[in-house]
Structure 1
Amino acid sequence: MNTGTISGAGLGLRRALLAELRQMQPGAVDFLECAPENWIGVGGVLGDALQDLASRHSFTCHGLSLSLGGAAPLHQLLLKQIRQFLDLHQVNLYSEHLSWCADAGQLYDLLPIPFTDEAVRHVGARISQVQDALGRRIAIENVSYYAAPYQALSEVDFITAVLDEADCDLLLDVNNIYVNAINHGYDARGFIARMPTRRIVCYHVAGHFDEADDLKVDTHGADVKAEVWDLLAHTYTLHGVRPTLLERDFNFPPLDTLLAEVDAIRTLQAKALA
């Protein structure tokens, strides 16, 4: 496990928040997370804003486009650009989704991978190629999904098998586990208990939409639900405190509201450490 100097509670860097983030008081967040694809090659006013934030805050990066589970060849130019971005901003913690999102072109959605032994070998080999290209270990994130193409393995067995096959780290998204547990009828706490502690380098939490009692949609567009906060606290108890990011992608409230949720993460971390 290597998170470099990253610790505490962070917030996702979104363009809609740029102006407010630049006005934050020192220590308001412990780190910021961005998607490199959204910033590679960006200059001008936006590029200056990113550089200003990078000079004052630790960064983590969370990829969107590598399509680790896809069949199309890995995008070598993008990998080169991501490595340059990570090196430039001294990013020690880079993660990607355990999903696929491209074929002949980007599909702009995170699609589920069949839970099979063949897929374990395929995805594991691709993650190894990515780690070699980037010159660093990466973490993979358990994703939310609403239809499963084929499940010879359970979700938890598939994730742990991929981690072992690729020898990579895990970004444990607690909200995704909650959403999947409701939608697919499994026990969230039992799932978390089976995650390998030694591979967990960070956590994500986010808000979701309650479509129905048995259907939750992972939107990143609402406040974190009480049940997810409880699940995060339980996760800290089982696996220990790790850097934890609050994700918010739209329906942005005032920054103070988001920072209150960041402080809620810190409170749970302090209780767990105590």
Structure 2
Amino acid sequence: MFTDADVAALYDQLNPWDPTRYPSDAFFNRLVMDAQAVLDVGCGTGQMLHRARDLGHRGRLVGLEPDLAALDRARRRTDIEWVAGVAADACWDREFDLATMASNVFQCLISDADLAASLAAVRRALRDGGRFAFDTRNPRAREWEQWEPSNASEVVDGNGRTLRVSHHVESVIGDVVTLTETTTAQDGTVLRVDRASLRFLDAPQVGALLRDAGFEIEAQYGGPNQQPVTDESRSFLTVARTRTAH
């Protein structure tokens, strides 16, 4: 058996959060440390908020996550608020200075209805002038073409097992890519197959969605070092502010 808890632990090994090593993590870390009250939407195992506390953040930190196994790992820290749920169901009212969706969580919002409902909920959760920061892969870079078994990763998990994690794209329909992630043991035994869909929206599409939801774009970068967005940008980061109604 390779349980949901095993998957959550393996995610932390394959995707460690470290702002001293990874520029994208540093980008979000700076925003979090500068905000008094932070809502991390799709917080996963809570690594970003854990690190913020370790670095001395003294304000309010809240993580929202639908994956209960990931949330269990996040809850190892009790000085942060953890809430089970999805963005569209969030019901906070002007309580936060910053909302984040790091690690391409924005791409998990597939339908137009879910995007609209999620952005509306994030907008309600932010105070006037509050910021919303997130990253998303650039569709023009076509990163999904690299998601194939030959590019698998190997890792030794916390139980000493050598595991192989590979990806296979099942379909590309419009701007939605559906893929499988297969985890196998060292002898080739398939331990688990997970399926997911991701939506790839370009920068103008993201901008239009934000404006419809009551945001205005403060900045949009083609990388964590604030370079411009180009067709070659692997991903882009957006920082938006709530727009005050007149």
**TM-score, normalised relative to structure 2:** 0.37
| Higher relative strand content | 2
**TM-score, normalised relative to structure 1:** 0.34
